[in-house]
Amino acid sequence: MTMEKINGKLFYRKEDTETLRFFKAPKVLYYSLLYRQLSLPAKILYGILLDRLALSLKNGWVDDQDRIFVIFRGRPAQNDTRKFQDKPSEDLSLTELLNVDHRSLRKYKDDLIKHHLLAEIRSGQGKSNRLYLLKPVTESKDLYKKEAPEHLLYSEDLDTLPIYEVHELLLNEYGSVALEKALELTTGQKVPVKGYYAYLKNILEGFRNNSTDKRHQFISQQESPFFRKTSSTKYFLKKSS
């Protein structure tokens, strides 16, 4: 097919005002040597589960240790006779989304577990297991911070900013999942009128430090397949920055 025969509406253009909804996965899963042996379907599965974290926060799926978990049915319920095209997206199972059988799904989950990217806790007969998505091991080159809007960077006093601009600034620095979690925790609480930025930032820094410590504590307890000691070389896990 020549370019002239392609419908012009199919090309992406700079003036487009709408964008597709999409799943995304950390680039480190594709670039890092640690995850070279991780299968492509497992990387796709990681992106699908990562997308579900927002729903988990909305539903309050956080355990007594403040760890977010995902509930995602592996295969359709036996009494669910609806066809794929007749189901809303939230009712689709993982096997339906990936278009694979349950044995293949189990293989992809096990691949993530082997690479310390997933922990699965059984919930009992007839209930969906809890899926705990784990952060990949990263170096500074694998991370980036979104630039804050220019008018916020040059603000003389962060305490004078409107609430929505405080949220925008913290969103750029910590991401939507952490910010939504912080706002959920402060719902109904008395928050300072002056010092609101510092108040939320302190909560978000607590999330960041706590999750980093738990992540590396978890990894240190595992027998990692990626780091082997030899007589001449030692390999160490690097902390996320």
The pLDDT of residue 203 is 85
Q: How far is the first Cα of the chain from the last one, in angstroms, to the nearest whole number?
A: 48
Place of tokens 């359709």: 76
Q: Give the orientation angle of helix 102-114 with respect to helix 40-51, to 10 degrees.
A: 90
Q: How far, in Å, CA of 209 to CA of 201, rounded?
A: 12
Read off the pLDDT of each residue in 199-225 and give the average, rounded to a whole number.
65
- 13-28 residue pLDDT tens: 777 766 777 888 888 8
The pLDDT of residue 161 is 66
What single-letter amino acid sits at 144? Y
> Burial, 228: exposed, middle or buried (Cβ in 10 Å; 0-12, 13-18, 19+)?
exposed
- 96-155 residue pLDDT tens: 999 999 999 999 999 999 999 999 998 777 678 899 999 998 877 666 655 555 554 445
Question: Taking the C-alpha atoms of 98, 100, 104 and 107 in order, what is their torsion angle to the nearest 10 degrees?
Answer: 0
Tokens of 20: 């597709």
The pLDDT of residue 18 is 67
- The residue count of the chain comes to 241
What single-letter amino acid sits at 59? N
Read off the pLDDT of each residue in 46-74 and give the average, rounded to a whole number.
89
- 58-67 residue pLDDT tens: 888 999 898 9
pLDDT over 80 (residue 30): yes
Residue 113 phi/psi, 5° resolution? -65, -45
The pLDDT of residue 39 is 95
pTM over 0.75: no
Sheet of 118-121, strand order: 70-71, 130-133, 118-121
Percentage of residues of the chain with pLDDT beyond 70: 72
Q: How far, in Å, CA of 51 to CA of 38, rounded?
A: 19
Percentage of residues of the chain with pLDDT beyond 90: 22
Q: Where are the alpha helices (DSSP H) in 70-195?
A: 94-98, 102-114, 150-153, 163-174, 176-186
- 186-195 residue pLDDT tens: 777 666 666 7
Q: How far, in Å, CA of 30 to CA of 37, rounded?
A: 10
List the chain domain ranges: 18-140, 145-214
The pLDDT of residue 148 is 52
CB 113 within 8 A of CB 119: yes
Of the listed ranges 3-7, 180-184, 209-213, 216-220, the one predicted with least confidence = 216-220
Of residues 158 and 69, more confidence is placed in 69
